[in-house]
Amino acid sequence: MLNDVKTSPSVDGKAGERADVAAFELLTRALIGIALEGLGVAGGQVSLPQFRLLLALGGLGRVPSSKLAAQLRLAPSAITRMVDRLQDTGLVQRGTDPHSRSIVTVEPTAAGYQLIDAVLSHRHELLGAVLDQMKPADHAAAVRAARQFASLSGDAIAVGESGPVPL
């Protein structure tokens, strides 16, 4: 129960901080580190936010840029800038909706899909290496907790409502 969580000392040893929140902060740091290391196969071609956009497109396919912005919960101007950069590197392409030329669509190129596959494959190796070190009961509990946490976080993208769109 949340009320039973001790507030001092935490995982980081800061008095008054919730130990459970501090533990998830450590987990966040570890997962971001793995996500960044996973991008190593991209050779610096994309940033983590750009990869998240590319990954969203990988799950959504060809979509209006406004829908992409809504899915990622970003301002349309932020999407435009990221798409510009990804288009310059040949990872996405813009188009128009056949029913309305005023609607700009975005989709990954073949190179974009290849990059998604390479990064996810490397990331899965990194995550697997950590998970393989866990005791079977801890491993199973971690999987259950991760799924529940992602679901409760309210991040539709993370839980795949629109396709497989992790960070």
10-residue mean pLDDT profile of the chain (167 residues): values are: 46 73 94 94 92 93 92 91 96 90 92 96 96 96 92 64 44
Residue 27 lies in a domain: no
Residue 32 lies in a domain: no
Residue 39 lies in a domain: no
Residue 33 lies in a domain: no
Unique residue bearing structure tokens 């539709």 = 156
Residue span of the structural domain in which 88 resides = 44-152
The per-residue pLDDT for 97 is 83
Task: Kindly provide the b/e burial profile for residues 33-66, where b requires at least 16 CB atoms within 10 angstroms of the residue's own CB.
Answer: ebbeebbeebeebbeeebbbbbbbbbbbeebbbe
Q: What are the start-end ranges of the E strands in the chain?
A: 63-64, 92-97, 100-108
The per-residue pLDDT for 155 is 60
The per-residue pLDDT for 160 is 53
CA atoms within 13 A on the CB side of 37: 12
CATH assignment at residue 105: 1.10.10.10
Residue 20 lies in a domain: no
Unique residue bearing structure tokens 């971690």 = 142
Residue 13 lies in a domain: no
- When divided into structural domains, the chain yields a total of 1
Q: Cis check for the bond before 98: say yes or no (omega within 30 of 0).
A: no
Residue 12 lies in a domain: no
